Each structure stands twice: as C-alpha cells, then as structure tokens.
C-alpha cells in the first residue's frame, strides 16, 4: 500500500482534493436520495408502493434487480409504445396486471435512476424494522402520567385511617396480654370510632395538615376537570370502515394531500370520497390486515361489483364518525396553516403514519393554539403571502420584530381574538 507523504505541497493538494471530492460525492448521494423520494412521490406514489405491497400497480421492491436498466427507461417513459413493439417482458407485465396501461411519465434517465435508487435504499433500511415489528406484533405505547386522581387520593386516605385503627387494635391486644400476665384488670376495649377519635385528638396538628393537603388536592382535581371539559385528546372512535393510516400513509407512503385534497386550499381538509378510494381499490380487492371485509364495505356503499367492475344505482353514504370537534365559535382554516404557514400535518395530528385507528392527537384547546402562535416563527422566505404585509409594516416595528430576521405569528397579530372568533 502506498502511503502519501504530506510533506510535499503536491501531495498536500492531492490529499485535500481527495477529501473534498469524497465529501462532494457523499453530499451528492444524499441529495440524490432526497430527490429520488420527491420524484417517487410526484410520479409513482399514487399507483405504486416502494415496498412489496400491491396498490393499483405492483410494489416496486426488487424491480431494480429484476429488469435491465435500459428496459426500465423505455417502460417508464412510455409503456404503451414498448408493448406495441411486441417486447416479451412488456407484454407479460401488461397481461399479468389485468391489461392496465401505465401512463407515460415525463422523466429523464437520470430521474429514473434517482427513483430506483430511492426504492432500493427504502427496501434495504426502514422497511426491515417495520416488518420486524409487525412480525412480533409489538409496538411502542406511550402512556402519559396523569398524576393521582381524586379517587386515588380518597383511597389512600381511607387506607391510612384503616391502618391507624388496626394499629390501635394491635396495641390493645398487647396491652391486654400484659395485664393478663400481671394479674391486673383487663383494659376496656375501644370501638373503632373511639379508636379513630382518640388517634385524631392525640395528633391534631398532623391530621389538620392532612386535611389541608387533601382539600388542596381535591380542589386542584376539580380545577383540572373544569379545564378538561370539551377536551377530547386521545379520542379514537370506532369507524364504520376500519381504515389504517399506518398501512396507507406509513407502509405505502401515500401523501396526506392525496386523500385530503382540500387541505391546501380550503378551510376543511375534507373527508375523502369513496370514489377516491376506488382509484386503488378497483384493483386491490384484498388488504393485508382485514382481507376483503373492510374493502367490501366500500364496494357495498358504492354498489360496486368487483367482478364486472361496474357501479349500480343503489349507492349510499358512509357514515364516518367525526374525530376532531372544535366549538362552533372557533374558526380554523387548514389552507392558512398548510399553504401559507407551511405547517406539517404532524404538528397538529401527530405521527399519523403509525395510527391503525384515527385519533385526536393534540389538545386543540385555546391555550394550546395560542402557545403555538407565540412560538411558531413565520416562514418568510419564498412566501409571497407575507410580502405585502412586510412592506406595510412601519419602520419601528421592522426594527423591533425583524432585527433578528424572524417574526412569530403572534407578532403579526396571530393571537388577536378576531383571528379565531368572529
């Protein structure tokens, strides 16, 4: 092995160049992975899973090894043209997947390489952990410490009093035994009430302090309960159709906006129409968790025949149970947060990709919203919504708020009452 001597200027230059080249290649690789994920979500995710699960089309795990790269270029760019040439592989794939034509994709060879690299990395890393957890049937459960409830405190007090009475009883037994041995008169046995009263009278200070502590704890419990009225954090009702976000958003990597299409431009995120479900479930007729039963409920609602793939006249709505309930006097706009504020869905909804049952993640209280507006910094870069606001901002306020280059939602008036109540 040749060892480079850094005593010579030439070797020093070569060493530094090699180091920079390695760092550049590493950075390029990371960027390529990131770009591959974006490209996959843009062009592929609506029909394909990066793993092995079937959606509209097959899962893409192993596709980079199964087919020649040049063939994949032709297939992805224009599958119809490739089938028309009589290519044996193309015709076989076409026949295997019910003669469903994959739309032509406006991508370059370099972009396809990035997508395939992302699929390969995806299957060599994260899914292994997920599959192992699924095989073991285990998951991490976070249990919040809610402190001592009023019932727990009352139980502790009762147990303490019982212990005192029992100790008095034991004391009497020993006193009676000693009197019997000495030939003295037997002491009079006290009742439970007398024993308790005697104990309290002899320890007035201790019991007074205990009473104050108990009253304070009960008062705090009542105060907390009052503030918990209308708070449904953790609420996860059973739905008429079992829908797993873990499978769709987690395993299959379907973007939230694909189903909740109106979140980016409307007040409401919207409940997906069953017709949207049919983009995939026209062909995916059996799920990995619930088999055909839950998908069959979608078919029943749409009066859909999975054999003939036709719709009947007896369609009926699916009666979903609402999970997130804000008071009628509260105004919340999804597009203001998603599009303008550039807030990720997980900020309010938590790790949705891990939910087998939809639930309310956050408190959604007034205090919770205000704290978020006080702490959240406005993303001003490349955000045209705020350009006019910044131009109209008085100079003294610019110096006050924009001196550090950041500004919070509250500094733009985001905690004014009329913003959410009108």
**Domains of the chain, residue spans:** 9-130, 150-227, 365-422
Token pair for 95: 């026949």
Query: Do residues 64 and 75 make contact, with C-beta atoms less than 8 angstroms apart?
Result: no
Instruction: Report phi then psi at 62, rounded to 5.
Output: 85, 0
- Give the pLDDT of residue 192: 66
Q: How much is the average pLDDT of 115-130?
A: 72
Residue 363: pLDDT above 80?
yes
Residue 317: pLDDT above 60?
yes
Residue 326: pLDDT above 70?
yes
How confident is the model over 370-384, as pLDDT tens digits?
Answer: 999 998 888 777 777
Collect all residues with Cβ–Cβ distance below 8 Å to 234 and sequence separation of at least 6: 359, 360
For the chain, give the percent of residues with pLDDT over 90: 23
- Residue holding tokens 């869905």? 345
Residue 21: pLDDT above 70?
no
Q: Helices 9-43 and 109-124: crossing angle, nearest 10°?
A: 90
Q: Which of 213-217, 291-295, 298-302, 307-311 has the lowest mean pLDDT?
A: 213-217
- Give the pLDDT of residue 163: 79
- Give the pLDDT of residue 241: 94
How confident is the model over 255-269, as pLDDT tens digits?
Answer: 998 999 899 999 999
Q: Please state, in angstroms and rounded to a whole number, the distance separating the CA atoms of residues 301 and 297.
A: 6
Cα dihedral sign, 101-103-109-111 = negative
Between the two ends of the chain, the Cα-to-Cα distance in Å is 77
- Give the pLDDT of residue 42: 72
Q: How much is the average pLDDT of 1-20?
A: 43
- Give the pLDDT of residue 143: 38
- Give the pLDDT of residue 148: 53
Mean pLDDT of the chain, nearest integer:
78
Q: Which of 111-120, 201-210, 410-419 has the lowest mean pLDDT?
A: 201-210
- Give the pLDDT of residue 153: 67
- Give the pLDDT of residue 131: 41
Helix (H) or strand (E) holding 269: none
- Give the pLDDT of residue 11: 45
Instruction: Report phi then psi at 306, rounded to 5.
Output: -70, -15
Q: How much is the average pLDDT of 23-48?
A: 64
Q: How confident is the model at residue 24 (pLDDT cuts 50, 70, 90)?
A: very low
Q: How confident is the model at residue 184 (pLDDT cuts 50, 70, 90)?
A: confident
- Return the higher-pLDDT residue of 14 and 119: 119
Cα dihedral sign, 128-131-137-142 = positive
Q: How much is the average pLDDT of 118-126?
A: 82
- Give the pLDDT of residue 313: 94
Torsion angle, alpha carbons of 264, 266, 270, 273, to 10: -90
Residue 32: pLDDT above 70?
no
How confident is the model over 73-94, as pLDDT tens digits?
Answer: 888 988 888 888 989 888 888 8
- Give the pLDDT of residue 402: 66
How confident is the model over 231-252, as pLDDT tens digits?
Answer: 888 899 999 999 999 999 988 8
Which of 20-29, 105-114, 124-133 has the highest average model confidence (pLDDT)?
105-114
Query: Do residues 116 and 63 make contact, with C-beta atoms less than 8 angstroms apart?
Result: yes
Quote the DSSP letter at residue 345: T
Query: Of the CATH numbers 1.10.760.10, 3.40.50.970, 1.20.140.90, 3.40.50.720, which one belongs to the domain with range 9-130?
Result: 1.10.760.10
Q: How confident is the model at residue 47 (pLDDT cuts 50, 70, 90)?
A: confident
Residue 144: pLDDT above 70?
no
Quote the DSSP letter at residue 298: H
Query: Do residues 118 and 40 make contact, with C-beta atoms less than 8 angstroms apart?
Result: yes
Instruction: Report phi then psi at 162, rounded to 5.
Output: -60, -40
Residue 224: pLDDT above 80?
no
For the chain, give the percent of residues with pLDDT over 70: 80
**Alpha-helical regions (H) of 44-149:** 63-66, 69-77, 79-84, 88-96, 109-124, 126-136
Q: Which of 53-67, 83-97, 303-317 has the lowest mean pLDDT?
A: 53-67
């Amino acid at each position: 092995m040749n060892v480079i001597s850094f005593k010579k200027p030439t070797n020093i230059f070569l060493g530094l160049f090699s180091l920079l080249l390695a760092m550049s290649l590493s950075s390029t690789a990371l960027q390529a992975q990131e770009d591959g994920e974006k490209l996959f979500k843009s062009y592929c995710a609506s029909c394909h899973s990066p793993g092995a699960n079937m959606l509209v089309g097959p899962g893409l795990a192993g596709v980079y090894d199964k087919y020649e790269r040049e063939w994949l270029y032709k297939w992805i760019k224009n599958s119809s043209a490739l089938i028309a040439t009589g290519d044996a592989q193309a015709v076989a794939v076409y026949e295997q997947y019910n003669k469903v034509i994959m739309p032509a994709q406006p991508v370059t060879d370099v972009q396809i390489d990035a997508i395939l690299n992302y699929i390969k990395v995806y299957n060599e890393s994260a899914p292994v952990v997920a599959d192992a957890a699924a095989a073991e049937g285990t998951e991490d459960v976070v249990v919040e410490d809610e402190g001592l409830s009023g019932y727990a405190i009352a139980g502790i007090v009762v147990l303490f009093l019982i212990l005192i009475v029992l100790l008095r009883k034991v004391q009497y037994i020993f006193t009676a035994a000693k009197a019997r041995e000495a030939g003295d008169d037997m002491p009079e046995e006290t009742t439970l009430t007398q024993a308790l009263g005697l104990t309290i009278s002899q320890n007035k200070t201790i019991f007074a302090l205990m009473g104050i502590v108990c009253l304070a704890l009960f008062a705090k419990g009542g105060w907390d309960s009052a503030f918990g009225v209308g708070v449904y954090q953790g609420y996860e009702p059973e739905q008429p159709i079992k829908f797993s976000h873990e499978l769709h958003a987690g395993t299959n990597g379907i973007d939230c906006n694909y189903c909740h299409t109106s979140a980016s431009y409307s007040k409401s995120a919207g409940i997906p129409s069953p017709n949207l479900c049919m983009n995939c479930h026209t062909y995916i007729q059996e799920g990995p968790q619930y088999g055909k039963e839950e998908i069959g409920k979608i078919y029943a609602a749409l009066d859909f025949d999975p054999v003939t793939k036709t719709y009947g006249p007896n369609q009926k709505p699916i009666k979903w149970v609402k999970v997130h309930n804000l008071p009628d006097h509260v105004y919340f706009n999804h597009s203001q947060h998603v599009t303008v504020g550039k807030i990720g869905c997980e900020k309010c909804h938590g790790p949705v990709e891990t939910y087998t049952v939809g639930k309310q993640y956050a408190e959604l209280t007034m205090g919770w919203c205000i704290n978020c507006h006080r702490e959240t910094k406005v993303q001003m870069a490349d955000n045209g919504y705020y350009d006019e606001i910044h131009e109209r901002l008085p100079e003294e306020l610019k110096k006050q708020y924009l001196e550090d280059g950041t500004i919070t939602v509250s500094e733009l008036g985001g905690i004014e009452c009329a913003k959410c109540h009108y």
